[in-house]
Chain A
């Protein structure tokens, strides 16, 4: 607990990254995959529409990208704030 203000800044930066990631997470699954599917029905993908593709493929691919982005971003943030592991 040497530097409390730096820790607070680190934590709020972390919470901001989490919130942005979760908005994308909800948008591709609950949004494109379910609730917004009727709006995407004009975009044809292989015999069906884009919403179907998001529900069965696209959302999973975005989830993967989100987790790796978060791991990369946070490991960088740890170093910036000097809170990384020894």
Chain B
């Protein structure tokens, strides 16, 4: 059976499973559609949260960004897991106690203001839509490769599939579908990593193999990797080369953003008790950590494999020849990925060999002049292809490649579905039922939720064709927006009785707008390429990149809220009582619809 047929078999079988579950659990009432009737066990909820959370950015994109940068991209690892500590300690139990369906309902009630609720809905829609764009980028890469079509066609097919089960399943369909997706994606991520770790280090646990010895050379794996990348003029893998201030801010933005993302917070509304909300965050992180502890090993080992493949005779020997790439079976992956347009090479100096090195490095330029090289000839290697191409690069059995295909799609589709649900509930529940037409029937509310989903997916697909960065980078922008707008409002709502309606509204608007403007200045207005005034290589403020600005946006939000609240009318007594009651678990009943 050909690799193409095996991929189709794995992807097809996993899809049939998810759609089957979605139909089996088809939502009936609105309460079921949003929060699955609140009957979800903490471990089940943790697993579903993990699938919901680990998106194309975690599965497809992150290891590639670590592989080609090394230590400096550790921010993704710490940021996307550290946020769960904030979520578990500062938000989850209180929001569960509050007992409503959506994040903006909490903000609307706590800040006794319809305006606050609508502003929260706007923040939520902006952050979630940016996030979906990142997912669509990943969906395009995955479908493009496995159906052997272009990136664009892959994206359009993916959009239709997400739409189908998010619209018909609702949260319950999504909860159980996501448990199945978690199992598929974690197997798909860890199995190839175990194979590769065994090949390179003899250790079956990738997280330990990363710090073990490289079998072929007898040296520690990381020392070997440091040496060969430096010989080609790249930065030492384990060294800290990037700006420290920006790295701290970026890590903090990802952490705060994690705790401010509505589709993750919504998960904690679905557990039966406050105590379960605390455990749920822990279980979610257990399931997430399985992937996050493996990812740095995947990145480092793939970097070593790719470098050795381009220099089969060592970095001082002859580079790989065009003839080898075209004829040897172990280089087949290069031709298949070339079809997607995400990988390319060119024999610039016509010597029949492909030299891969850092042509921006002065020492390498001198060496190139001496050897007659005319620049790096591995001209394109999109970071987002690394994880998907990894099993082929390591020459693993074809069933592993099929499994990775299914896992990558599970990651991208599950998150996209969860986000679409958050967007649709914000529009139908908060905007239409809460503000525009309170008398809407349950049927009408459900219909408007589905229309909102369809619109959101169309917008995200359109923007996904022209993404502002690799999947994980686009997603990082969404985290910055969530960090600057939603998280501070929620935290102040629980931990301070002083912040009043005007303070909260002013804070959210200030945080969201400065962050959005900073992003647009660097990434183009509404992400339209060419309309940017600055670049992340030379940012407006010192060394602060647009992906790191969320933490500053959050600080602006907190400060604005405190100043404005201090100058305006005090919070009424009944709201102070509400805050008191949210702080203690006693009396947490089932959630009520209003």
Contact = CB atoms under 8 A, between A and B. Distances in A.
Interface string B368-392: 0000000000000000000000000
Contacts of A57: 207, 210, 293, 296
B581 A59 contact: no
B81 interface: yes
Interface string B567-580: 00000000001001
B434 interface: no
B508 interface: no
Contacts of B462: none
Contacts of A21: 85, 89
Interface in A16-38: 18, 21-22, 25, 29-30, 33-35, 37
Nearest to A7: B584
B388 to A, nearest CB: 22
Contacts of B219: 47
Interface in B248-297: 248, 251-252, 255, 273-275, 278-279, 281-282, 285-286, 289, 292-293, 296
Interface residues of B, number: 54
A48 B278 contact: no
**Do most interface residues of chain B lie in helix, strand or loop, or is the interface mixed?**
helix
A22 B86 CA distance: 8
Interface stretch (B70-78, B109-117, B340-348, B357-365): B70-78
Interface in A37-86: 37, 45-49, 52-53, 55-57, 59-61, 63-64, 66-68, 70-71, 74-75, 78, 82-86
A48 to B, nearest CB: 4
B585 A78 contact: yes
A45 B211 contact: yes
Given A33-B78, A57-B296, A71-B275, A47 B223 contact: yes
B185 to A, nearest CB: 18
Contacts of A33: 74, 78
A33 B586 CA distance: 39
Given A55-B74, A56-B74, A74-B278, A29 B211 contact: no
Contact of A48 (B93, B222, B244, B281): B222
B394 interface: no
Contacts of B71: 52, 55-56
A4 B247 CA distance: 44
B282 A71 contact: yes
B89 A60 contact: no
B221 interface: yes
A60 B78 contact: yes
A67 B275 CA distance: 12
Contacts of A67: 84-85, 88-89, 278, 281-282, 285
B460 to A, nearest CB: 30
Contacts of B244: 34-35
B9 interface: no
Contacts, number: 144
B285 A64 contact: yes
Given A18-B89, A35-B248, A55-B77, A46 B222 contact: yes
Nearest to B237: A48
Nearest to A37: B240
A86 B78 CA distance: 37
B220 interface: yes
A68 to B, nearest CB: 5
B89 A70 contact: yes
Contact of A70 (B88, B211, B585): B88
A60 B77 contact: yes
A21 B210 CA distance: 29
B82 A75 contact: no
Given A1-B577, A34-B248, A60-B293, A47 B81 contact: no
B3 interface: no
Nearest to B581: A1
B30 to A, nearest CB: 25
A46 B220 contact: yes
Interface string B551-594: 00000000000000000000000000100110111111000000
Contacts of A25: 82, 85
Interface in B53-88: 71, 74, 77-78, 81-82, 84-85, 88
Contacts of A29: 78, 82, 251, 255
A85 B273 contact: yes
A33 B252 CA distance: 13
A7 B293 contact: no
B282 A68 contact: yes
B90 interface: yes
B225 to A, nearest CB: 8
Interface string B201-218: 000000100111000000
Closest 3 CB pairs of A and B: A47-B220, A46-B211, A47-B222
28 contacts: A1-B581, A18-B90, A22-B89, A34-B240, A35-B244, A37-B240, A45-B211, A46-B221, A47-B226, A55-B74, A56-B71, A57-B210, A59-B78, A60-B81, A60-B289, A64-B282, A64-B285, A67-B85, A71-B279, A71-B282, A75-B275, A78-B585, A83-B584, A83-B586, A84-B585, A85-B275, A85-B586, A85-B588
